Each structure stands twice: as structure tokens, then as C-alpha cells.
Amino acid sequence: MSTLFLRTLRDDPADAEVPSHKLLVRAGYIRRVAPGIYSWLPLGMAVLANVERIVREEMNGIGAQEVHFPALIPRDIFEASGRWADYGDGLFRLKDRKDADYLLGPTHEELFTLLVKGEYSSYKDYPLALYQIQTKYRDEARPRAGILRGREFIMKDSYSFDLSHEGLETAYQAHRDAYERIFTRLGFDYRIVFAVSGAMGGSASEEFLAPTPSGEDTFVQCTNCDYAANTEAVEIAAPAATSPEDHPAQQVLDTPETPTIDTLVERLNTLGLGTFTAADTLKNVVLRTHAPGSDGWELLVVGVPGDREVDLKRLGGQLEPTIVEQAGPEDLAKYPALVKGYIGPQILAEAKIRYLVDPLVVEGSTWVTGANVADKHAAFVVRGRDFTPDGEIGAVEIRDGDLCSRCGSPLVIARGIELGHVFQLGEKYAKVFGLTALGPEGKPVTVTMGSYGVGITRAVAALAEQTYDEKGLCWPVGIGPADVHVVAASKDAEIIAAADSLSQEIEAAGVRVLFDDRRSVSPGVKFKDAELIGVPTIVVVGKGLAEGVVEVKDRRTDERRDVAVADAVSAVLAATALPKTAG
């Protein structure tokens, strides 16, 4: 450490919000250059290398082959896929000296597809899986939390190429299994949750999340079964559908000045029709959608029980790449049939307005809703009798205690960091670029692809986030910048020499050592630094040496014991042994 390029900091950086960010900066792993842009210092590089090595081993283990694409990509390639326009503000765009447009790759679907198309032509060439570990550029709207969400970051991205859906499923499963091994070996507590794959939907899409309070992703877990999904993809249990005919006829009610659900419920309960709550009302929220490539916006009304809010992020996730947002007065003005505060679905089909309901609004359910006339609502408005929606979409904000669609038990909401994503991309890019293989009968078959990403730099921060304590970082064995931190707890030359030779012995036994040989630093500062840096085993060579012992300390539990110098290497080997993993 006397020559290591490292300066630890006593204070948290002013711009840091989350613990991993504060600690990685304070412990000298990373330094900020600009928002979302970081330099990596030697300690950080060591952790990064461990993460990359494990990811490489597991990718190679499933037969994926490593390639490397440029980050600098000419515009025409992204023009062909439509992403030059669709990616919007998230894309870093630049020009060369001849004024030609380029971009810095946010992902590399286009290049993977084109590369394979250039090399392979026969069905005999497949299946194939390729990956790279590469720097990505995304002009994130809110680069926060340090390297958890960078604008320049490292990703492992891989793609599988198959000629049938069964082939794709096999490749998907192989990647999913490899990801389980990767995140287990990295020491993560992780969950695999269902995700939606946007417009490409319908096929498998799952995210690997690290549960932590600072995570940006919200997901839902069943308290009973193993169902877990992100809030875009979650399905909650709905009441059973009933016959729409078993209800009283629709009844229009005078409900002056009741534009909100609360005022409406209050009024309803004075009418002698029974007792009502917000959950008995049907709220119709007016939104607008814009599909990429289309010119302009389309109106969309979404119906949810009145005691629920519409979750725009959840809707957006399902409609992606179509954009959805709240409609404005100018949109409403185009549809005089919509009476603000008194909108009901009874007239939407006739007004040619698209209407979707949350699955909680089941067939045969009866509601109080707007009568499409100012100051009037209608009761006993029944789905399947008085209105028929154009479809269903999970739109309500999920609540703790909503019921699992699998087993009916309560769900709980938690936060997590997305570590990786596996999904069945299908033929989208193969179609765009004409990636086909000549089949056995001489007919071309379109290749079907799977897409698999791991955030490499994010994994470093996420792991720090899951393992830190009040003293500092706290790496799992095998992942930190070293596995043993030897502290020479004295300025005494004899003690430093003994610590030096012990460090060399430990290293010779195959364990990575960080040796604090600094002469100008007090033992107290050395201990603090060791705790901050977070190497899992700390060996203190100090006064005990006179009695022939050193102290071996577990960074996490703070458990210490004196060990005879002669036994120190074997004690360290035992402490740093990786847990045996299956296979």
C-alpha cells in the first residue's frame, strides 16, 4: 500500500446519494469525471476484473464465443433498424470531420445481426451464441447513484441465434442457468422476476434483481409461492367473471358537483341505493399514446376501480415502444363526447375512442361511473352488457396485499437493482437485416434471436450496496480487490519485515494479498482503511509477534482470534476458501 495508487477519503462525496457510491469513492475505487461518467482506480479495476472473469467463464461455459464491437457506429446501421429515430434523447450522437453522423452504441443488436449475416448462410452453421464485454453509452435522463446508472458503463451482452423457437428456448434456458451461476458466484442475493418485453411481448422475458432499498426498480413477490415480477409485468388475482345479465338495469343518477371519487361516493351514500365505497366506482382516465413512426397521438381511455390510481410506468412498460402520457385539454377538446369528470365507457365505442380496462374490471362486474353528461353518473353499469372494452391491460398501481395470480396469497412490494435481463427477442432484427439461413430444402429460414445482458460496472456497485456495513465496503471472498489484507500494525522495522514475509507466504499459497506496509501511517488509520476497503479477511501483525502470534479478523463479523505465526497461512487459507458450488 506504500506504492498503491490510492487515497482514501474521510468524508462522503457531496453528490453521492447511495451507500455504494459514497463508499466506492471514499475507499478509492472510482472517481467522478462528470455526471454518470467515472474513472476506475486500481482497487476498482481489481473488482471489475473479478466480475468480468466470472462472467467470461460462465459465458464460455455455455459455448458462447467472445467478440468485440466498436462503440463508435455509423448512423446508417441504426437508421436501418429505426433506432436512430426511436432511441430519442438517450443516444449520444456525433459527427466526424466529413460531417457524417455517428453514434456511441447504447446496445449492439444491429452489429451482432450484421456480423452473423456476413459470415453464416446455411442451417448447418446454427445454433450460435456470441457475446462481448463492452462499454455502452446512454445519455440517461437521471444518471444517479454513481456507477449504478452511468452514462458510460460496461455491459456483457450476448445474443443467441437459432432456427426454431425450440432452439431459442434451449439457448434462453442455458443463458438463464449461466446467469444463476454468475450471480451466485458473485455472492449476490438475487431474485428472478417476470418482465415484459415491450412490443415484442408474448415471449419469455425475465430480470435478475438484487433486492436493496436503494434500487430503482420496484418488484412484487408472493409471500407464499415463488412468483415474482416487476411492476410492469405483474399480474394480480382478479375476482371471477360473472354473467352480465344478473344485474338491475342501468340507472342514471343526479350527482351535481361530484367531479372527484370522494365527492361522488359521499353523494351516492345519500341516495338510498345502498352503501358505496370508492371501489364500487369505475374511474376512466384519459391518456394519449404515440406509436413510433406514426404521426401524432391517439386517445386512450383506461378504466380502473375508483379506489385505485393508474400506474403510468406500468402501462408504459407494457405499451413500449409506444409512448403513453396523460392527455391534455387540447386532446379532450377534439372529443366533445367526453365530459370532464363524468366520463363513462358506455359511449366510447360509438365515439371511436380506444378503451382498455384493468383486469380487475372483470366481465359481469357492475359499477357506478360517469353518465357522459355533466352532473350525472350512472349506476349498475355492467361490463359485457353496457360496455365492452377493446381489451385489458394491467393499469392499476400495485399495492402491498394485492393477491397473487398463481396462489391467491398476499403480494409484497420490494425494491431492487436490475443486474441482468434475459429475453426472447425473436425475429425483429433478423427481419430488419435479412438474417436468414438456407434450410435443408433450399428455402431460407429467418433466424430467431435471444438477448441477454449483464451490467458489469453496475454489478460492482450493486454488490457493494448489498454487502456494505457502517464501517465500509465488505466484499465476498473472491470478488474484492484482495482476499487478505495484511496490516503491519507498527512502524517497527522488525514487525514490518515479519508482515512482509507472511504476506509473501500467503501469496505463494495462491491467495491475493493487499499488504499495508506504510511506515508513515498510524495503526489506527490502517485499521480504518482496512475496514473501509472491505477485504474480507484482515491479518494484523503487531505487538503479538513477540509472543509468536498474529491476529486473524473476519471483516464482516469482526470475530478475531490469535493464531501462531507458523499456522497463519493455513488459517488464512481456511478463512478465504470459496464455498463449494455445485458442479
Binding residues vs ligand ATP (CB under 6 A): 107, 138, 140, 149-150, 153, 155, 418-421, 453, 455, 457-458
Angle at 33 between CA 30 and CA 39, to 5 degrees: 35
Q: Residue type at 390?
A: D
Instruction: Return the number of other C-beta atoms located less than 10 Å from residue 149's C-beta.
Output: 20
3-state secondary structure 387-450: ECCCEECCCECCCCCCEECCCCCEEEEEEEEEEEEEEEEECHHHHHHCCEEECCCCCEEECEEE
**Shortest Cβ 153–ligand ATP spacing (Å):** 4
Distance CA 569, CA 508 (A): 10
Three-state DSSP state, 4:
coil
Do the beta carbons of residue 206 and residue 176 sit within 8 Å? Answer: yes
Quote the CA–CA distance of 2 and 94 in Å, as a whole number: 43
For residues 581 and 475, give the distance between their C-alpha atoms in angstroms, rounded to a whole number. 18
Q: How many residues in the chain? A: 583
- CB burial readout 285-319, b (16+ within 10 A) else e: bbbbbbeeeeeebebbbbbbbbebebbbebbbbbb
Q: How far is the CB of 3 from ligand ATP (least distance, A)?
A: 31
Q: Name the nearest CA neighbour of 156 among 260, 246, 258, 48.
A: 48
Contact present, 471 and 25 (Cβ < 8 Å): no
Show the cell assigned to 244.
Answer: 352480465
Q: Where are the beta strands (DSSP E) in 429-523?
A: 436-438, 444-446, 448-455, 484-488, 513-516
Range 101-111 burial, b when 16+ CB lie within 10 A, else e: ebbbbbbbbbb
Q: CB–CB of 275/379 below 8 Å?
A: no
Which residues neighbour 143 within 8 Å (Cβ) at sequence distance 6 or greater? Answer: 35, 36, 149, 150, 151
Cβ(454)–Cβ(55) below 8 Å = yes
d(CA 538, CA 505): 15
Of the candidates 371, 91, 160, 400, the residue with the CA atom closest to the CA atom of residue 252: 371
Whole-angstrom Cα distance, residue 439 to residue 421?
Answer: 31
Name which of 353 and 419 has its Cβ closer to ligand ATP: 419
C-alpha cell at 209: 434483481
Q: In the complex, what is the shortest distance from the CB of residue 271 to ligand ATP, in angstroms, rounded to a whole number?
A: 47
Q: Reply yes or no: is the peptide bond before residue 143 cis, omega within 30 of 0.
A: no
**With 0-12 CB in 10 A as exposed, 13-18 as middle and 19+ as buried, what is 31?**
middle
State which amino acid sits at residue 386: D
- Round to whole Å and give the CA distance between 269 and 267: 5
- Rounded-to-integer distance, Cα 292 and Cα 524, Å: 60
Measured CA to CA, the distance from residue 220 to residue 7 in angstroms comes to 41
